[in-house]
């Protein structure tokens, strides 16, 4: 699909219902998105309705050595945690009274600030979800990822597969209950039409694929399809190569300390920030240190500036390798030690591209020129899951679809790719998850 066609976004006929004269006449998803951004926080009801979601979820339990605790039946033990999020609904004038809505669970991308979450109308992505609800007629749920929102006392388990899988999967029963409890929904007779889609971009794409694996493994798939976009699915391979690259500048350097600290919060001594970080980043100076910068009080852009200043270079000139303690790097991430290192084992535990088989369609969207999360993550995942499907006698082409966001050399960066991929995923769901040949012919 051409980039211009992707960027046109949703010029199909609107879902059922017609707007009263006083209501806006949207001709595209972009019109709707623009209107929501103009409205600011809590858009007016004629654009749609939203409510806060608070729900019980599972949290994996690890012992003091960073190993999973097992319950009496030999299964991974969990402890309860309360998580939050926000759910967006279309206005009744758009979809009609008594509407039956498909449900989309949309996992947001990395946000360092603990209040930059959908439940608080924080972060950059909630308008995309609100617009999809209003334009396509979806109910769009956005869970706050763990370690933020209602769970702000904890540190976010950044790209820790089991924690994120539980957070997404456990939101679904609570979302379904809203049809009988939310006043707006009951007043207008809204309910569910039986379809359930999962999607996310960047860390949200990783969380989504982790949740898909969790649902498939539990024999409770119960969903229609998913869009897992530009996620770091291959931590032990493609992302490790990015960590140790001595030359390439990394666009958002705060991701690395956030990752290390997130794993330490789950695994304790198996990944110790005091051993992993370069000593210069740990020096307590008047402006703090890497631990205080990444505590969730500041935006990632601020942390990028702090990291660059401490390393003596502009933030856009930082490479991730410079942020590690050299002896630790040699023992844990560099060859030849990496093959048998504890950190290799830890990263491999959280890879998502093998050891399970999807049975529902997955759309992968990724820019070949993504500098934050290399395209190789998606290619490795499609290859690995394709082998699992073939081994079970299935056809990978029927389940795994790749929509490249541009071509190599188009220089579509990670954030710019999101503005194309996320609406594309909503449209793919709306049109019934067609194959890419049919999808490319649609005029949105």
Alpha carbon 277 to its chain's center: 26
C-alpha Rg value of the chain to the nearest Å: 22
Alpha carbon 261 to its chain's center: 18
Q: What confidence score (pLDDT) does residue 440 get?
A: 85
**d(Cα 374, Cα 408) in Å, to the nearest integer?**
12
What's the mean pLDDT in 315-323? 94
**d(Cα 195, Cα 360) in Å, to the nearest integer?**
12
The two structure tokens encoding residue 118: 């959908």
- Report the CATH fold assignment for 3-234+351-441: Rossmann fold (3.40.50)
Q: Which helix (H) or strand (E) holds 83?
A: strand 78-89
Mapped onto helix, strand or coil, the DSSP state of residue 304 is helix
Q: Are strands 49-60 and 78-89 parallel, antiparallel or unpaired?
A: antiparallel
**d(Cα 277, Cα 256) in Å, to the nearest integer?**
10
For 254-280, how does the pLDDT look when each residue is reduced to its tens digit (9 = 90+)?
999 999 999 999 999 999 999 999 999
The two structure tokens encoding residue 401: 């679809």
**d(Cα 117, Cα 109) in Å, to the nearest integer?**
10
| Helices assigned H by DSSP within 86-125 | 92-95
For 208-254, how does the pLDDT look when each residue is reduced to its tens digit (9 = 90+)?
999 999 999 876 668 999 999 999 999 999 999 999 999 999 999 99
CA dihedral defined by 402, 207, 269, 280, rounded to 10 degrees?
70
Q: Residues in the chain, how many?
A: 444
**d(Cα 74, Cα 63) in Å, to the nearest integer?**
15
The CA-to-CA distance between both ends of the chain, in Å, stands at 12
pLDDT band at 23 (very low <50, low <70, confident <90, very high): low
Backbone angles phi, psi at 226, to 5 degrees: -145, 160
Q: Which residues contact 290 (CB under 8 A, 6 or more apart)?
A: 257, 273, 277, 281, 282, 307, 310
Cβ atoms within 10 Å, residue 308: 16
For 299-318, how does the pLDDT look when each residue is reduced to its tens digit (9 = 90+)?
999 999 999 999 999 998 99
The two structure tokens encoding residue 91: 């206005």
The two structure tokens encoding residue 361: 């369609």
Q: Cα–Cα–Cα angle for 264, 105, 398, nearest 5°?
A: 100
The two structure tokens encoding residue 354: 């093998």
For 190-221, how does the pLDDT look when each residue is reduced to its tens digit (9 = 90+)?
999 999 999 999 999 999 999 999 999 876 66
Counting residues of the chain whose pLDDT is more than 90, the rounded percentage is: 88
Please, what is the average pLDDT of the chain?
93
Q: Is the pLDDT of residue 435 over 50?
A: yes
Alpha carbon separation from 84 to 167, 171, 172, 263, 409 (Å, rounded): 9, 9, 12, 22, 40
Cβ atoms within 10 Å, residue 38: 10
Of 259 and 442, more confident: 259
Left if phi > 0, otherwise alpha if psi is -120 to 50, otherwise beta: which for 442?
beta
Cβ atoms within 10 Å, residue 82: 11
For the chain, the structural domain boundaries read 3-234+351-441, 244-347
The pTM score is 0.94
Q: What confidence score (pLDDT) does residue 1 get?
A: 37
Q: What confidence score (pLDDT) does residue 220 get?
A: 61
Mapped onto helix, strand or coil, the DSSP state of residue 103 is strand
Strand partners, 62: 68
**d(Cα 373, Cα 320) in Å, to the nearest integer?**
13
**Residues 123, 212: contact at Cβ < 8 Å?**
no
Tally the C-alpha atoms within 13 A of residue 276's C-alpha that lie toward its C-beta: 26
**d(Cα 361, Cα 384) in Å, to the nearest integer?**
15
Backbone angles phi, psi at 144, to 5 degrees: -70, 135
The two structure tokens encoding residue 321: 């390798």
């Amino acid at each position: 699909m051409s980039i211009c066609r992707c960027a046109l976004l949703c010029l199909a006929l609107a879902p059922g219902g017609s707007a009263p004269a006083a209501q806006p006449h949207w001709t595209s998803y972009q019109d709707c998105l623009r209107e929501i951004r103009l409205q600011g926080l809590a858009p007016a009801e004629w654009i749609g309705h939203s409510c806060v979601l608070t729900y019980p979820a599972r949290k994996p339990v690890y012992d003091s050595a960073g190993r999973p605790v097992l319950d009496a039946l030999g299964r991974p033990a969990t402890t309860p945690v309360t998580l939050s999020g926000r759910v967006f609904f279309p206005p009744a004038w758009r979809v009609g009274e008594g509407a039956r809505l498909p449900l989309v669970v949309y996992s947001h991308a990395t946000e360092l600030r603990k209040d930059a979450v959908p439940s608080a109308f924080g972060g950059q992505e909630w308008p995309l979800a609100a617009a999809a609800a209003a334009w396509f007629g979806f109910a769009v749920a956005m869970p706050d990822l763990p370690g933020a929102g209602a769970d702000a006392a904890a540190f976010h388990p950044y790209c820790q597969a089991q924690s994120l899988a539980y957070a997404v999967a456990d939101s679904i029963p609570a979302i379904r209950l809203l049809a009988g409890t939310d006043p707006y929904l009951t007043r207008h007779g809204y309910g569910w039409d039986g379809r359930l889609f999962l999607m996310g971009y960047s860390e949200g794409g990783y969380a989504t694929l982790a949740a898909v694996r969790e649902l498939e493994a539990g024999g409770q798939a119960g969903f229609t399809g998913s869009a897992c976009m530009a996620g770091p699915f291959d931590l032990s391979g493609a992302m490790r190569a990015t960590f140790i690259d001595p030359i390439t500048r990394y666009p958002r350097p705060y991701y690395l300390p956030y990752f290390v600290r997130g794993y330490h919060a789950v695994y304790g001594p198996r990944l110790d920030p005091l051993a992993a970080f370069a000593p210069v980043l740990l020096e307590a100076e008047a402006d703090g240190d890497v631990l205080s910068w990444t505590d969730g009080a500041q935006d990632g852009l601020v942390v990028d500036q702090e990291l660059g200043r401490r390393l003596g270079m502009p933030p856009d000139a930082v490479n991730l390798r410079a942020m590690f303690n050299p002896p630790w790097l040699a023992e844990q991430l560099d060859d030849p030690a990496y093959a048998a290192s504890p950190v290799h084992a830890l990263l491999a535990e959280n890879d998502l591209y093998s050891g399970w088989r999807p049975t529902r369609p997955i759309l992968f969207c990724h820019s070949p020129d993504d500098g934050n999360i290399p395209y190789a993550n998606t290619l490795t995942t499609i290859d690995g899951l394709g082998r699992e499907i073939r081994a079970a006698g299935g056809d990978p082409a029927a389940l795994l679809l790749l929509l490249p966001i541009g071509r190599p050399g188009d220089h579509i960066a990670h954030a710019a790719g999101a503005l194309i991929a996320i609406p594309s995923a909503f449209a793919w769901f709306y049109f019934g998850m067609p194959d890419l040949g049919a999808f490319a012919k649609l005029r949105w």
